[in-house]
Amino acid sequence: MKKINLTLAWSVAAILVIAGIFFLVAQKDKEPGALDEFALCLEDKGAVFYGAFWCSHCQNQKKFFGNSARLLSYVECSTPDGRGTLDVCKQKNVESYPTWEFADGSREVGEVSLQRLAEKTGCQLTQ
């Protein structure tokens, strides 16, 4: 009986530790980023970032924004299995990633610098 209680206690403790780690990771993603205002301005100005989860250049583009990347107007183009393109991106004729589309209909393809995004949208870039 003692062995069962001890095993149960260790199991509960392990679950609590794992839950705590997940909670801390989730909270970190919600912390304000240095470029929050810039990312929100890009969204307000109609800049849309099309990408795919498996695209290394898309991941690099998000890294430019750090924690502020969560505020971008981002459209995932890949099917969950990574083998196809979602209709929303087909309809927009997005053929490579990352692709940025702006309110005037113009596009930039590839990793776009923060400075270039500021130029295209008129958003103030402060770091």
Structure token digits, residue 32: 């304000």
Give pLDDT tens digits along the chain (127 positions): 667 766 665 655 556 555 445 544 444 456 789 999 999 999 999 999 999 999 999 999 999 999 999 999 999 999 999 999 999 999 999 999 999 999 999 999 999 999 999 999 999 997 6
pTM: 0.74
Residue-level pLDDT at 121: 98
Q: With H, G, I as helix, E, B as strand and everything else as coil, classify residue 125.
A: coil
Q: What is the pLDDT of the chain when averaged over all its residues?
A: 87
Q: At what angle do helices 114-121 and 36-44 cross, to 10 degrees?
A: 40
Residue-level pLDDT at 32: 83
Q: Contact, 31 vs 119, CB < 8 A?
A: no
